[in-house]
Structure 1
Amino acid sequence: MSSFLTHIQDRLKVCGPLSYKNMFGGFGVYSGSQIFAMVIKDRLYFRVGQSNQAEYESAGMAPFTYAGKDGKLVRVSYWEVPEEVLEDDEDLVFWFRKSLAEANKASSLKKKTIPKKKIIAKKKVTKSKVSSSKKTIAKKKAARKKSIKRTVKKTTTKRKVSR
C-alpha cells in the first residue's frame, strides 16, 4: 500500500471502515461493498454524478481516463479531488460523503434498470411422452407404406386389365 493511500485512509477514519482492492495499477476504495474512490499514482479520484460534477469542473478538475482495448480514450465517473480539498479534513469528509452518495445512487439505478433474466424451467420429457411421439411417427410411416402399396396395386391391376 502506498504512503499516499495510508495518509488518505488515516484522514477518512471518521467515515467508517474502508477496504481496498487493486485496480488500474492503483487501488479501488470501498465503503462496505460499494466502490466510491480510486487512488492511482498518488492521486485521489472520487465518484462523481450529476449532483456534484459542477464542483469538480469549477475547481478545474478532470475525470480519470485510460486507453481502452481499441486504443480509444475511456472516461469514467471518477474525478480527481482538488488539492484544496485534500488539505482540509472537513472538506475531504464532505466530498467523501457526496461521492459515496453518488456511488450508492448509481448502484441503485443500475439495479433498477437492468432487468433480471427470467429463469424458465425446461419441461421434463417423460418416457411416456417420448414413446407416444415415437408411436405417432411409426403410425405415420406405416400409413404412408399402406398408401404406397395401394397405389402400386391399383396401377398394376389397371395394366393387367388393359392387356
Structure 2
Amino acid sequence: MSQLSDTLHDVFASLGPVRIARMFGGYGVYHDDLMFALVVREVLYLKTDAQTLPHFEALALPAFSFERQGRKMTTSYRQAPETVFEDRQAAALWARRAVEAALRTANAPMPMRKTKKKPGR
C-alpha cells in the first residue's frame, strides 16, 4: 500500500471502519462495501453526483480522468480538498458527502437501453 493509503483510516475515522483495496493501479476506499473514494498516484479522489458536485467545483477541484483507446474518460470522482488531511471535521463532512453520493448513485434506477430494431420490423 502507499503512504497515503496508510493514513486513510485516520482521515475517514468518522465513518467507522473503511476497507482499502488495490484496483486499476490505485486503491478503492470502501465503507460498508460501497466505494466512495479512489487513490491514484498518491491523490485522493471522492465520489460526486449532481448534489455534491457544486462543492467540488466551488474549489476548482479536478476530476479524475484517464485515457482509454485514445479517448479521455472523465469519472465522477473529484480530487479531495487538502483540508481533509488537516481537519477531522472537514474530513467527516467531505467523507459524508462522498458516501451519500455513492449511495445515491448505487440506488439510482438504471437508464433504459435503446434496442436496435431489426430490418423489416
Do Structure 1 and Structure 2 share a fold, with TM-score over 0.5?
Answer: yes
Cα distance between partner residues in 2 of 1:46 and 1:3: 18
Q: Within 5 Å, which residues of 2 pair with 1:28-43?
A: 28-43=28-43
Partner of 1:104: 103
Contact 2:84 2:90 in 1 (8 A): yes
Distance 2:81 2:63 in 1: 12
CA distance in 1, matches of 2:105, 2:47: 10
Deviations 1:76-100 (A, max 9, x none): 1000011133321101111100110
2:65 maps to amino acid: T
Task: Give 1:80's aligned amino acid.
Answer: Q
Distance 1:2 1:38 in 2: 13
Please say if residues 9 and 17 of structure 2, whose CA atoms lie closer than 8 Å, have aligned partners that are also in contact: no
Give the fraction of aligned pairs with identical amino acids, expressed as a percent.
27
Matches within 5 A, 1:45-60: 45-60=45-60
* Aligned residue pairs, count: 112
| Consecutive unaligned residues in structure 1, runs of 5 or more | 116-163
TM-score normalised by structure 2 residue count: 0.85
Measured against aligned partners, the alpha-carbon deviations of 1:26-49 in whole angstroms (never above 9, x if no partner) come to 100111111100011111100011
Q: Report the TM-score, using the length of structure 1 for normalisation.
A: 0.64
Q: How far apart are 1:24 and its partner, in Å?
A: 2.5
Q: What's 1:12 paired with?
A: 12
Cα RMSD for the two superposed structures: 1.4
* Aligned partner of residue 38 in structure 1, secondary structure: strand
Q: Which of the two has greater helix per residue?
A: 1
Corresponding position of 1:113: 110
**Letter of the structure 2 residue corresponding to residue 11 of structure 1:** V
The structure with the largest strand share of the pair is 2
Which protein, 1 or 2, shows the higher relative CO under an 8 Å CA cutoff with sep ≥ 6?
A: 2
Output one character per residue of 1:116-148: Cα deviation in whole Å (capped at 9) or x when no partner: xxxxxxxxxxxxxxxxxxxxxxxxxxxxxxxxx
Q: Distance in 1 between matches of 2:20 and 2:82?
A: 22
Query: Structure 2 CA distance, aligned partners of 1:84 and 1:13?
Result: 15
Instruction: Name the counterpart of 1:21.
Output: 21
